[in-house]
Amino acid sequence: MLKYQFQQSLIYQPNTDIPINKLGITDAQILTEFENDLLDSAFKQYATQLDADTQFNLDYFCSIHRYTFQSLYDWAGVIRSHDMDWLESFVHKDTLKCD
């Protein structure tokens, strides 16, 4: 089972908690490992770009998400339209707004 649970969402492969992805990965462990590899790569890229002028706003975080996951998910970097739970309560969709 993945770490995230989306409520009333069509992003899952039928009868699973595995998000539909561009690579057709159907195994949760493999998907998690692939996501971790993408995160490691993105961290190395973004960590070198940080400076005193970096603005940590919604646009910045969306760009990180898009860069990190665009090879895996069609919805990478897009504000979600469904609430998401992560073990416990997580940020709700209504609290996310673009400037």
Q: Could you write out the DSSP letters of every residue in the chain?
A: --SEEESS-S-BPTTSSSBP-TT----HHHHHHHHHHHHHHHHHHHHTT--TT---SHHHHHHHHHHHHTTT-TTTTSPPSS-EEESB----GGG----
- What is the reported pTM? 0.73
Whole-number Å distance between alpha carbons of 41 and 28: 20
pLDDT value of residue 98: 55
pLDDT in tens, the chain (99 residues): 455 555 556 788 888 878 899 999 999 999 999 999 999 999 999 899 999 999 999 999 999 999 999 999 999 999 877 665 554 545 555 555 555
Tokens 């910045």 sit on residue = 60
pLDDT value of residue 15: 80
pLDDT value of residue 1: 46
